[in-house]
Amino acid sequence: MTATREQIRRAYIDACYREIDALKPGNVHRFADGHRMSAEQFFESAQASSQAVTDPALSTGQRILGAVRETRRKVGTNTNLGILLLCVPLAKAAANGGPDLERDLVTILQKLDVEDARDVFSAIMLAQPGGLGSAPKHDVSTVPEVSLLEAMGEAADRDMIARQYVSGFADIFDGGLKAYNAAADRGEHAMWPVVFTYLFFLSAFPDSHIVRKHGSAFAGKTQKQAQQILTQVEVLNDGKEREKLLLAFDAQLKADNINPGTSADLTVATLFAFGLNSLLHNGEVNA
């Protein structure tokens, strides 16, 4: 079936809310704030950005830039740049009306042009993400002369979000969704499928945000810690014991100013893709 704009908007907000409701060590969530940001700011950001994310009159780049502007206007800081970079193409793909979200997404990505690149570069500069630095080619502080897809391709070997653009979001469709569904299939409920999705990303890849701010050694250390935490959580059956373990890891990461923001962004995109697939096949968002 064809998803309406309002259905897509609600699926986007639902994905953002579910991610904040889950106990994700090192990130902002309803169990604990962190990094000078609050859970409420993320809830407000989801609402504020949702209209631009789903505006059918806007291009991919225009949607991302518009959503960043609305977010800055509402909360005054960068809470969702990575989320927007991932979720806007998914929203556009869902509006195409086809049953194959992944195929329609690839079509959207292949059509990205230099205007999209200019708008996205402007959005990144406006958002001012932590640890941005500079790049030898297609630096976001310059005016781009290539398509957004080509610019993302240049960064794909060092940034997980850019990598999704050139891989057709493979780590989400072939990784995140499988982790989410596996957790649900074995009886996990409430926030736990989301937690396992997040831990999948954090344990499977060096988090790009950690790499940018602290270097690859810190990112690798956090990845190994996440692998150990994931193994422990999988064998624990008591929810309170799981929470105790995750909160201790959360406190440790925040004390060291470690924020696995890219893993959280990929988790939101996974939840959004899950919700959109439910819409396209069942006509409703299946949380």
Task: For residue 73, give the CATH number of its domain.
Answer: 1.10.4200.10
Asked if the structure places residue 43 within a domain, the reply is yes
Rounded Cα–Cα distance for residues 105 and 264 (Å): 21
Over its C-alpha atoms, the chain yields an Rg (Å, rounded) of 18
Q: Are 154 and 137 in contact (CB under 8 A)?
A: yes
Q: What is the pLDDT of residue 262?
A: 98
Q: What is the pLDDT of residue 128?
A: 84
Q: What is the pLDDT of residue 33?
A: 80
Q: Mention every residue, 6+ apart, whose C-beta is less than 8 A from residue 267.
A: 19, 22, 24, 176, 194, 197, 198, 201
Q: What is the pLDDT of residue 143?
A: 81
Q: What is the pLDDT of residue 284?
A: 65
Asked if the structure places residue 50 within a domain, the reply is yes
Asked if the structure places residue 95 within a domain, the reply is yes
Rounded Cα–Cα distance for residues 230 and 23 (Å): 13
Number of domains, the chain: 1
Domain with 100 in it: 5-282
Q: Give the distance between the most distant pair of CA atoms in the chain.
A: 54
Asked if the structure places residue 235 within a domain, the reply is yes
Asked if the structure places residue 139 within a domain, the reply is yes
Q: What is the pLDDT of residues 55-113, one digit of tens each?
A: 999 999 999 999 999 999 999 999 999 999 999 999 999 999 889 999 999 999 999 99
Spell out, as residue ranges, where the chain has pLDDT lower than 70.
130-140, 283-287
Distance between first and last Cα of the chain: 18
Asked if the structure places residue 287 within a domain, the reply is no
Asked if the structure places residue 188 within a domain, the reply is yes
What pTM value is reported for the model?
A: 0.95
